[in-house]
Structure 1
Amino acid sequence: MVEKTKILIVDDDENIAELISLYLTKECYDTKMVHSGEDAINVFDLYNPDLILLDLMLPGIDGYQVCREIRTSSSVPIIMLSAKGEVFDKVLGLELGADDYLIKPFDTKELVARVKAVLRRFQNQGQDTKPKANQKYVSYPGLEINLVNYSVIVDGSHVDMPPKEMELLYFLAASPNQVFTREQLLDQIWGYDYIGDTRTVDVHIKRLREKIKDHKEWKLGTVWGIGYKFEVS
Structure 2
Amino acid sequence: MRLLLVEDDDHVAAALSAVLARHGFEVTHARSGEEALQALLPDPGAPFGVVLLDLGLPDQDGFEVCGRIRKRTSTPVIMVTARADVRSRIHGLNLGADDYVVKPYDTGELLARIHAVSRRTAPGEGGPEEAGAEVGPGEPLRLGPVLIELPTRQVTVDGAVVALTRKEFDLLALLAQRPGVVFRREQIISEVWRTSWEGTGRTLEVHVASLRSKLRLPALIETVRGVGYRLVAPGA
Q: TM-score, normalised by structure 1?
A: 0.69
Contact 1:165-1:204 within 8 A present in 2 as well? yes
| Change in CA separation of 1:221 and 1:144 when aligned onto 2, cut-off 3 Å | farther
1:23 maps to amino acid: V
Deviates more, 1:6-15 or 1:19-28: 19-28
Work out which of the residue numbers 222, 225, 228 in structure 1 matches 2:220.
222
Contact 1:7-1:50 within 8 A present in 2 as well? yes
| Unmatched segments (≥5 aa) in structure 1 | 146-150, 211-218
Taking the aligned partners of 2:67 and 2:138, their CA distance within structure 1 comes to 30
Q: Does 1:108 align with 2:131?
A: no
Q: Does 1:27 align with 2:7?
A: no
Contact 1:64-1:93 within 8 A present in 2 as well? yes
Name 1:171's counterpart in structure 2: 174
Q: Does 1:144 align with 2:150?
A: yes
CA RMSD of aligned residues (A): 3.8
Taking the aligned partners of 1:93 and 1:224, their CA distance within structure 2 comes to 23
Aligned residue-pair number? 206
Contact 1:138-1:173 within 8 A present in 2 as well? no
Taking the aligned partners of 1:160 and 1:45, their CA distance within structure 2 comes to 25
SS at match of 1:84: coil
Deviation at 1:46, TM superposition (A): 4.1
Taking the aligned partners of 2:223 and 2:135, their CA distance within structure 1 comes to 30
Deviation at 1:77, TM superposition (A): 0.9
SS at match of 2:34: helix
2:113 maps to amino acid: R
| Change in CA separation of 1:56 and 1:92 when aligned onto 2, cut-off 3 Å | same
**1:1-233 equivalences in 2 (<5 Å):** 5-46=1-42, 48-123=47-122, 125=126, 137-141=136-140, 143-145=149-151, 152=153, 162-175=165-178, 177-178=179-180, 189=192, 192-194=198-200, 196=202, 198-204=205-211, 206=213, 222=220, 229=231, 231=233
Deviation at 1:9, TM superposition (A): 0.4
The percent of aligned pairs where both chains have the same amino acid is 31
| Change in CA separation of 1:182 and 1:99 when aligned onto 2, cut-off 3 Å | farther
2:175 maps to amino acid: L
1:200 maps to amino acid: H
Q: TM-score, normalised by structure 2?
A: 0.69
Deviation at 1:186, TM superposition (A): 6.4
Contact 1:182-1:201 within 8 A present in 2 as well? no
Taking the aligned partners of 1:7 and 1:46, their CA distance within structure 2 comes to 15
Q: Deviations over 1:59-117 (max 9, x none)?
A: 12111010011122332211101122222222221121111111112222221111111
Contact 2:2-2:27 within 8 A present in 1 as well? yes
Contact 1:79-1:100 within 8 A present in 2 as well? yes
Contact 1:221-1:228 within 8 A present in 2 as well? no
| Change in CA separation of 1:160 and 1:77 when aligned onto 2, cut-off 3 Å | farther
